[in-house]
Amino acid sequence: MVKILIFSLLFFNFLNANIYEKNCVSCHKDIPVSIDKYFYRYLLKYSSEENVKKAMFSYMKNPTKKTTIMPEAFILRFKLKEPTKLSDKELKEAIDIYWEKYKVFGKLK
């Protein structure tokens, strides 16, 4: 009975997860660099919301050593990510959620 209850809770939690949680957080939780650190690297390099989102979208579609924001030592240890299997619409939605979660604009005083 307890197993069924736990399974049901996990299943419903998964159904309620958004595209970002299902497709981004689920993989990044296994990497020792927290997912917010990528965001801050993008923000330092690309500055604006529009430029950050464009760079992330481009990298997720076609990850290369030239376009990564991570240092070479990180790439040697963890490799480049595989190109996303998300549609353009899904990827844009995931990036929008990521931006809203970690943006610093309007939060600093």
Cα–Cα distances (Å) from 4 to 7, 10, 18, 70, 102, in that order, read 5, 10, 24, 42, 35
Instruction: Write down the domain spans for the chain.
Output: 18-102
- Report whether pLDDT(7) > 60: no
User: How many Å apart are CA 81 and CA 3, to the nearest integer?
Assistant: 35
Please state the rounded mean pLDDT for residues 87-105. Answer: 90
Q: What is the pLDDT of residues 16-59, one digit of tens each?
A: 568 888 877 777 777 777 788 888 999 999 999 999 999 999 99
